[in-house]
Structures are given as C-alpha cells and as structure tokens.
Amino acid sequence: MIRIQFLGGACLRDGAAVLTGPPAQRHRIALLALLAGAWPLPVPRARLLALLWPEKDELAARRLLNLAVHVLRKALGSSAIVTIGDGLLLGTDGLSCDVLDLRAAAADDDVARVAELHAAPLLDGFSLPEAVDFGHWLDDTRRELQRIHRRVVLLQLERSEGQGDLHGAVAACRQLVALDPYSGDDARRLMRALEQAGDRASAIRQAVEHAQRRRADLELGPDPAVAILADELREGVLAAVEPPSIAVLPLRIVGAEPEAHALADGIAEEVIALLTKRRDLRVIARGAVQALRARDATPRDVGRTLSVRHVLDGSLRVADGRVRVVATLIDAETERPIWAESYERAHTDVLALQSDIALRLADAAHAEIAAGAQSGRDLPGPDSLAHRLVLQGRQNLRGHTVVALARGRDAFVRAVEHAPNYLDAHIQRALACLELAEEGDPEFPALHAEASAAVAHALAHDPRHPEALATDGMIRMMMHYDWAGAESAIRSALERAPAHPLVHDLLGRLLWAMGRYDDALLLARRAQTLGATPHGIDPVTMLLSANRYSEALTHARLAVEVDPYAPKTHAGLAWALFLCRQYEAGVRAMEEAVTRSDGHLRWRGEMGQMYGMMGRWADARTLIGELEAIPGISPCYVAHGYQGLGEADAALTLLESAVASKCGQAYGIRGSFLYAPLRGHPRFGALVATMGLQAQ
C-alpha cells in the first residue's frame, strides 16, 4: 500500500520503505498535493501548469507535467493519477493519503483522529520559490485544513455543552486556543468554560496569557473584549441569563364531541414535550398548569404563581368531521395577546392530526417568544384577510421555485395593502424580494429597492424588531457587500431573539458567503433545531462548501425523501453524488432538478457545469449557447458552464459582471463550492477583494 504524507514534511512510502529519487522531486510532490487538495474533483491541466511552472512557456510546461505524471504512475501505480477529460484526479486504489484521511475523519466528526492527523501544517517548510501562485494555494489550503479541524472541535464543544460535560467543554476550548492562539473569541470561550467548570483563577490566567501572546508575537495590546471579561470574572459579576418561560394551558373544549377531550389533552401534552426540547426555554410541567386551570386562573395569575412570562391558551372544536384549534400566546403580566393562530384539519388519523397541530403550535409559539414579540406590531387577528395572506405567502415561499416565490411576494404585497402597519407582512415581503433576486430575476434592481423600502418601513416603526434587523443585514450583504455592517445587524437581532430560527438562518447564510463554513454549519443546525423557516438555510450546500461530501450526500438523500418535489433538493443531491464521484447518478439527479424547476435557469447552468467537468463538452457548449441567448439571464448561470469547460477567464469575466451589477447570486461567489476551482486564480482573488473578502 502506497502512503502519501503531506501533513508535516512530505513523504512517500511503499509499506515501510520511503520512496526517494525522481518521484520525490519537489514539483512532483507539489503536483500530488494539488491533486489531493482538489479531491474528489479533477484539476484542469491548464491550472496545474499555471501553478507549478509559471515561468515556462506552455509547451515546455506540458512536457514537464507529462513527465511528472509518468514518473509518479511508475512509482505509485498506474491508477495513482487518473485522467478525466483535460483534468487529472488523484486515484485512491491501492493508495492512501493523510489529507484525504483528515477530511474523512472530519466528516465522521472524529475529533481524536483529526487532532492526530493535523498535528503539523500541510507541507511544513515546503516551497517552490519560482511558483508564487502555488505558495498562495498552499497558504489557502493550510487555512482550509485548519478550519476543518476547528469545525470538528466546535462540534465537540457543542456536544459537550449540550450534555453538561464541563470538562469536555474545557478540553474542546483548549484545542480551539491551540489552533488560533491569538483569537479573542476563542480565548473568551475558554475563559467562560473554565468559569462554568468552577476554575475562575485559570479563566483569569487565560486572559493574562492571551495578552502576553499578543504583545510578544504581534506587538499588540490586550484584546478589549477579553480584558472586559477578565474584569467581570475578577469582580464576580457574571450572571446567568434567565431563559424565556411559558406555561401551556389545557385547551378549552367547544362543543360536546366525546373524543374532543382526549384530542385536546394529547395536543397539549405534545406541545409541552416539543417546547421542553428547546434548551433556551423554561416550560412548566403539565400538572402545575392543570391545577390552575381548574381554578379558572387568569393569565396574570398563572404568570405570577408559576413565575412565567408567557401563557399559551387555546380552544378546540370538533364538528362535521373537522377539527379546529385556535391558539393565543399571551403576555402573562399585561394579559395582552402577542400572537394568535388557527389550525383546521380533517378529523381522520387522530394521532397524525394531533402531532401535526402540536408541532405547528410549538414551532410558532417558540419562534414568537424568541422574537421578543413585545415590539408594538399591529398584528391582525387570526381570521383577518391580511393575516391569512401572510400565511399563504409563507406557504408559497416553501416551494423554492421562482413561480412560488413570486406568488408569495404578491400575497405579502396584498397583505400590506390591507394592513399597512402589519410589520410581519413588510418583512416577509422584503425577504421574498431578496429570494427572487437571488434566484436570478432580471428585475433584481427593482426587487432590491422594494426590499429596502419594506425593511425601512418596519425599522421606522420598531427599530429593535429582530426580523427587521436581520433582514436589514441581508440587504447590506446582498446589495452593498457590507459584511461588517451585515454581521452587526444580524447579531443585534440575535441578541434580541437568541432562539429565532430566521435570525440563525440569515446569520448562517452570511457567514457561509464569507467562507466561515464552520460557524455557518453550527447556525444551520441551530436553525433546524429551533424550527422551520420558509427561507430555509441549506445545510447540503454548506456541507459541500466545507468539503464534507459524504455527510452532504446523507443529508441530500434525506432532503429528497422529505421534499421530493422541490428542484433544490434534487440539485443538492446531484452535486453531493457528483462530488462523491458518482458522476452519472449526479447528472441524472440534476436532470431531475431541471425537469422540476418550472423553467428556472439556475439548474440548467449547473447542468452545463457538470457536463463540462465530465468531458461532455458538446453538451456543455449547447447549454451555454441556449443560456446566452436568453435576455437578462444572470451572468452566474452562464459562468457555470464555462467553468465546467475549464475556461476560467470566460467564467471570471461573467462573474466580474455579476459582482459589478450586484445581481442576486453575486454575494455568494466567495462561499459557494461551485466556484472552488477558481479560488487560486489571480482574477478570482482580485474579484472577491472588490467585494471586501479574501479568496480563502
């Protein structure tokens, strides 16, 4: 078995024997490293020539590349380097590589194995002095592997905190500090973990050591946030934040149907069970609430007796084969309704009916509490036309097609016409406009303007509204490439609504666009835990962007099972299959996405990219020609096809146009896995720099 080692010093082994001589020559080691870094994707020969032999003319460089491939195949086996179209792929038959093992261990969330493999940087001490761009690629890939390591440690930290394992949390935080000794965020994480574990002295000592490292290595003063936390620890003023609280009252029965009582009890029990799973919410046990209901206690009595801020009250009616539940979330102190909703279903499968209503009730109540619903909104009642239009619009947004998004936007526009101060309608209208722009609507400038006006209206009425702040952050990102302002706005929303799924959704999307995949994935998981949102953060895309292909494939298959009609789920499955080297299956899944897309051009563009990467150049060029003939088409869609053909300059010209015009998809160019092969190209680095980002 051939073993290729890149982490630390480079080494080729055949069993116990170290291979030296021609296969271990520096350019050949660099070639193997490039192929391992791109695996399971092939690397175009033109890209390899530019990175390894930039000082040579094309003919001489191709001769050197062909010689390197010949030497390596002879030493490592004929299948060590596989030709795919005009690209080269690292073969894995009879060969193992520590970089591939590291990524596999990260996909399995194997913290110990990741730490064992990533004990030293990629190609430590290695360089090709005449190949400047290879040096940039090497630095970028080292950072990528460090992010992979960090992502696994963050996941372990999340698990330890969820299980109440204080010492495990401290160990994970120490690993984060070892990975980035100068990070103020990680220093504070470790300090808080030590404080929670009862070791305040060590927590304060960490602040001192962090300041010493910054001064000695970076010639910087102490991190202000670390210093403030240290002062709080010294003064003992850290206080636990009291989570929001709720009591769920038994549903009142309207009518005399005998089965209504059992159904009402079942729904209430399930709502309590579902809300109890939310760690950020304190839920009162059913027995204590029933005793108060028996005494006809008011919501204020319930709140004061049980020390809760919110009360969920409601009624249930069974009549003519239908079940109707009306629920109201009430501020216990003021007895003002915060939110109201009605649910009506056919009275068929009782258990399914009970679970469905309970799940929707729990999700809606939790989201409203998280949003800090005391925002002064003009909230229409559950039977008003405006409220029904908003519900209809949200349902359309879940369709994830351009037609469904357009219908959703129209519903929100009508809701605003009927209730001009209904802030939720304004915010949902803005989100629908942003989604339409992102999906390639040629009228994106008008959509951006409409979204800005809607959010400005909401913030004028309530400057602290969490959803409005988060949507304002999305606008800053998409329309202005104002990454710092976007993050500040969304994090401000997160402070006001720490358990709102939409806020986590949008923050995750922002961090993904910036290339901060580890944090984005954690937010994706959190958003899904907190409840569904119509705008739907896409964990499959994030996993693919983080090079976690096998995990993405598992999620993608589940997504198709859950929603087999959405083109987006089939497209995610297509790329997961393709990047797991199941090329034909990936193409079939993408063709299914195209079929289900209601004429949407995005998936046709990605289809062209797949064709090109597989060597089906005629098919790719046919698709490119068809797309270029469509007026107003997004440049990003056409760029996919050229990228698949390996024509980087043509693709980059289109992407530069997209960024300059700020079309809907442009903000995600840095984060998307679809553009990963371009990241080492100088024009790509210059392009994302104009957006205020770095290529890696």
Predicted confidence (pLDDT) per residue in 121-136, tens digit:
888 888 888 888 888 8
Mean pLDDT of 552-570: 84
Q: C-alpha angle 303/306/307, rounded to 5°?
A: 65
What pLDDT shows up at residue 62?
Answer: 92
What pLDDT shows up at residue 462?
Answer: 81
What pLDDT shows up at residue 695?
Answer: 63
Of 108, 89, 91, 116, nearest in space to 2 by CA: 91
Residue 535 has pLDDT above 70, yes or no: no
Region for 8 from its dihedrals, namely left if φ exceeds 0, alpha if ψ lies in -120 to 50, beta otherwise:
left
> Do residues 65 and 53 touch, judged by C-beta distance below 8 A?
yes
What pLDDT shows up at residue 455?
Answer: 92
What pLDDT shows up at residue 65?
Answer: 93
β-bridge pairing 81-84 and 43-44: unpaired
More confident residue, 413 or 112: 413
**HSE (side-chain half, CA atoms, 13 Å) at 336:** 9
What are residue 84's phi and psi, to 5 degrees? Answer: -130, 105
Residue 140 has pLDDT above 80, yes or no: yes
Mean pLDDT of 680-693: 90
Sign of CA dihedral 369, 371, 372, 374: negative
Of 7, 141, 142, nearest in space to 676 by CA: 141
- Beta bridge partners, 314, equal 327
> Do residues 344 and 282 touch, judged by C-beta distance below 8 A?
no
Per-chain mean pLDDT for the chain? 83
More confident residue, 342 or 295: 342
Mean pLDDT of 467-477: 92
What are residue 13's phi and psi, to 5 degrees? Answer: -130, 140
- Quick one: which H or E segment has residue 275? helix 260-276
Residue 197 has pLDDT above 60, yes or no: yes
DSSP state for residue 250 in the 8-state scheme: P
Start-to-end CA span in the chain (Å): 33
Q: 414-444: per-residue pLDDT in tens?
A: 988 888 888 888 998 999 898 888 877 788 8
What is the percent of the chain where pLDDT is above 90?
23
Contacts within 8 Å (CB) and 24+ apart, 617-626: 617/85, 617/645, 620/644, 620/645, 621/645
**HSE (side-chain half, CA atoms, 13 Å) at 224:** 0
Question: How far apart are alpha carbons 673 and 689 in whole angstroms?
Answer: 18
DSSP state for residue 309 in the 8-state scheme: S
> Do residues 389 and 414 touch, judged by C-beta distance below 8 A?
yes
Of 553, 539, 515, nearest in space to 675 by CA: 515
Residue 403 has pLDDT above 50, yes or no: yes
> Do residues 507 and 495 touch, judged by C-beta distance below 8 A?
no
Distances (CA, A) of 316 to 324, 389, 607, 640: 6, 23, 50, 53
Give me the residue label for tokens 């469905």: 356
Q: How confident is the model at residue 368 (pLDDT cuts 50, 70, 90)?
A: low
What pLDDT shows up at residue 367?
Answer: 65
More confident residue, 597 or 487: 487
Calculate the CA 118 to chain-centre distance: 25
Cis peptide before 442 (omega within 30 of 0): no
More confident residue, 277 or 392: 392
DSSP state for residue 83 in the 8-state scheme: E
Q: How confident is the model at residue 534 (pLDDT cuts 50, 70, 90)?
A: very low
